[in-house]
Chains A and B, each alone.
Chain A
Amino acid sequence: MPAAGTGGLIRRAAWRLRLVLLFAALAALPYLLSYSQQEIAVLLVINVLLVSSYRLLTLTGEWSLGHVVIMGVGAYTSALLAKQAGVPVPLSMLLGGAMAAGTAALLSFPLFRMKGFYFLIGSFAAGEIIRLIWKRFTDPFGGPKGLKRIDPFPDIETGFLSIDFYEPVNYYFLALAVVSVSLFVLYRIERSRIGLTFHAIHWQDRLAESVGVDTFRYRTLAFVIASFFAGIAGGLYAHYVGAVNPTRFSVDQMVYVLVWAIVGGTATFHGPVLGVVVLTVINEIVLRALGLDTARPLIYGLILILAVLYLPNGLESLGPRLRALWQRRRGEPAAAGREPA
């Protein structure tokens, strides 16, 4: 027991060290980037929250096509509250998350009567209805053109400290803080019994139900939590870009989220994060340098197909696979010696 305890302590210390190094790297990152790259980094941080919240929903086994629209609900709500009701921006973002969560709670009544493919289609339809409402009602949603000149995140002005969130570097740190806290909450949820129950529903919902798990309630809970954080991501987006419109939350955008999640892999917490980071880097650095960034949908499609064929468990499985390969290579001479040629 003491030995295991020490091992656990060392592992935990190593884990903390890695986390500290990660945050140090993330803090240094914007200073290594150009202005336009800093802007991309802000959107990347927001997308990390979008895809990580999406993964929480998939834990119960249901894949939605409405997640980006739900993000839009958070974005529109926060933008409108700030613009028309004068709600201070940090609070409007929280309310945007709450609205997204509430929308999910309402939608779960029709949607969770369905499973699998039907849920997928149902979530798509629900998303399209919401987008139609944004397009149809110019007041207050601004119609197809959407909302413009959304209030920015208020500057912080104290005697000696002055932070202007119009600067991408500063918004980057704001988004990083919000997203880090959100990811921590998502992580804690998954590691708790709630996460165990989500997984149980995914693998065998009848058995879970038979020992007292209200599977409808838990599916709804996953949907509501995931939507809350998607709504927060929407709020971060709206007050950074300053404009939202129905096209920004169309199913095309949803396809990117799916590609990030699938290419990264959804079995682990870090898989989708890896997916969005790697694909954004490929997109913004490699493709842009080659002048191929207009071919993004085509290249994403290609990457998706290659990933499904050659990396079915996603980028997250690459690390363990390379490690196994490395260990085998190191152990090879001994193994070859024992084996008759």
Chain B
Amino acid sequence: MNAQDERPILEARGLTRRFGGLVAVDNFSFSVREGAIHGLIGPNGAGKTTTFNVISGFYAPSAGRVFFRGIDISGRKTSALAAMGLVRTFQGSTLFQEFSVLDNVRVGRHLGTRAGFLSRLLGTDRPLEQAAGEEAREALAFFGLEELADEPVSNLPHGHQRMLGMAVALAAEPQVLLLDEPFTGMNPEETRRMMTLVRRIRDRGVTVMLVEHDMQAVMNLCDIITVMNFGALLVEGEPEAVRNDPAVIEAYLGSAAPDGSGHAA
């Protein structure tokens, strides 16, 4: 291991995001090692999605900084971050619902298919677009969706839509992929397949950070887990250590307590 590998690929320092009086993310720091599958968990309303939104440039941080390969990226535009290699997926099935499956992934190839205005007009971008079509089909094949390429998205069952969301993100050739609840709404069989796919994505050299509620999946999949509560860091460590940490058990029990004695979100 050299010094290059030691430097985190993604890092947050003192990240804070307020909405009016509400502090959704509160002086939160973490770092993601290159090549890792890094879990981000915490009770509902802990601030996980907001953290993703700040890292990926949808919200500016109220305070604190985000670094990508040592470069300060705080407050940069989402599209500029995607061009650097930082791509996120969305909670739920956020897709171009009116497009075919293939066209969704073709949009994902946006960065890989640069051409001038005149070239688009005259159609000299054709070889480029044919290649983009091939690459989009490859991305679909990776998720086993190639048969559905010409279907409208709205015909796809929920589990397939979630996979398509990842195919779109993967088509953008990320170095870091942020997955927001990739297993939600999937049956156990689909979840198992998806876990294999996430590992294969990592094996292709993509660093993965994921938010997920399915504890079994998180514990099995992640190399390291960061737990947040009330917007702040609670615990960080390997799955085994996190699972048995009293503070984590307390946070989850608290949020799940039906009598409201805990800190329900």
> Using a CB–CB distance below 8 Å, which chain A residues touch chain B?
185, 188-189, 192-194, 196-197, 199-200, 203-204, 206-215
Instruction: Give A328 to B129 CA distance when docked, in angstroms.
Output: 39
Expressed in whole angstroms, the minimum distance between the Cβ of B170 and any Cβ of chain A is 10
B125 contacts A by Cβ under 8 Å: yes
Contact partner of B108 (CB less than 8 A), chosen from A185, A192, A194, A211, is A211
Contact B110 A189, beta carbon cutoff 8 Å = no
Min distance, Cβ B10 to any Cβ of chain A, angstroms:
16
What separation, in Å, do the CA atoms of A200 and B97 have in the docked complex? 10
- The verdict on A189 contacting B121 (CB below 8 Å), with A204-B94, A210-B82, A212-B172 known, is yes
Q: Which residues of A contact B96 (CB under 8 A)?
A: 199-200, 203-204, 207
Give chain A's interface secondary structure class: helix
What is the CB-to-nearest-CB distance from B120 to chain A, in angstroms, rounded to a whole number? Answer: 4
Q: Which residues of B contact A214 (CB under 8 A)?
A: 77, 79-80
Given known pairs A193-B115, A193-B129, A204-B94, the reply for A209 and B107 (CB within 8 Å) is no
A196-B106, A211-B82 given. 12 additional CB < 8 A pairs? A192-B121, A193-B132, A196-B107, A200-B96, A200-B107, A203-B96, A203-B99, A206-B94, A207-B90, A210-B88, A211-B172, A212-B79
Q: Are A211 and B107 in contact (CB under 8 A)?
A: yes
- Report whether A211 and B168 are in contact in the complex, using a CB–CB cutoff of 8 Å: yes
Contact B168 A207 (CB under 8 A): yes
Residue of B nearest to A214 (CB): B79
Instruction: Give A109 Cβ to nearest chain B Cβ, in Å.
Output: 15
Given A193-B129, A203-B98, A213-B79, A208:B123 Cβ within 8 A: no
Distance A204 CA – B92 CA, assembled complex (angstroms): 13
- A203 close to B171 (CB less than 8 A): no
In the complex, the answer to whether B110 meets A211 with C-beta atoms within 8 Å is yes
Interfacial residues of chain B within 115-174, with CB under 8 A of chain A in the complex: 115, 117, 120-121, 123, 125, 129, 132, 168-169, 171-172
A194 and B122 CA atoms in complex are apart in Å by 12
Bound-state Cα–Cα, A213 to B87, Å: 12
* Neighbouring B residues of A194 by C-beta, 8 Å: 117, 120
Using CB atoms, name the residue of chain A closest to B79: A214
Chain B positions within 8 Å of A207 at CB level: 90, 94-96, 107, 168
In contact, A206 and B120 (Cβ under 8 angstroms): no
Do residues A185 and B79 form an inter-chain contact, with CB atoms below 8 A? no
- Say yes or no: A212-B99 contact (C-beta < 8 A), given A194-B117, A196-B106: no
A211 touches B99 (CB 8 A): no
Cα–Cα, bound, A214→B129 (Å): 19
Closest to B96 in A: A203
A193 and B90: CB pair below 8 A?
no
Assembly CA distance A129 to B123 (angstroms): 39
Closest to A215 in B: B79
In the complex, what residues of B have CB within 8 A of residue A185's CB? 121
CB distance from A339 to the nearest CB of B (A): 27
> Which chain B residue has the least Cβ–Cβ distance from A188?
B121
**Residue-by-residue, is B74-102 near A (CB-CB < 8 Å gives 1, otherwise 0)?**
00011110110001111000111111000
CB B190 to nearest CB in A, in angstroms, measures 21
Q: Which residues of the other chain, B, contact A208 by a CB distance below 8 angstroms? A: 107, 110
Contact B123 A188 (CB under 8 A): yes
Residue B50, interface by CB 8 Å: no
- Complex Cα distance, B107 from A197, in Å, reads 7
A185 to B121, CA, bound (A): 7
Report whether A197 and B110 are in contact in the complex, using a CB–CB cutoff of 8 Å.
yes
- Smallest distance from the beta carbon of A189 to chain B beta carbons, Å? 7
C-alpha gap A185/B94 in the complex (Å): 32
B196 at the interface (CB under 8 A from A): no
A335 to chain B, nearest CB (A): 25
B111 in contact with A212 (CB, 8 Å): yes
The reply to whether the CB of B226 lies closer than 8 angstroms to some CB of chain A is: no
Determine the chain B residues whose CB is within 8 A of the CB of A211 once the complex forms.
82, 87, 107-108, 110-111, 168-169, 171-172
Which A residues lie within 8 Å of B132 (CB)? Answer: 193
**Per-residue 0/1 for B28-48: is the Cβ within 8 Å of any A Cβ (1 yes, 0 no)?**
000000000000000000000
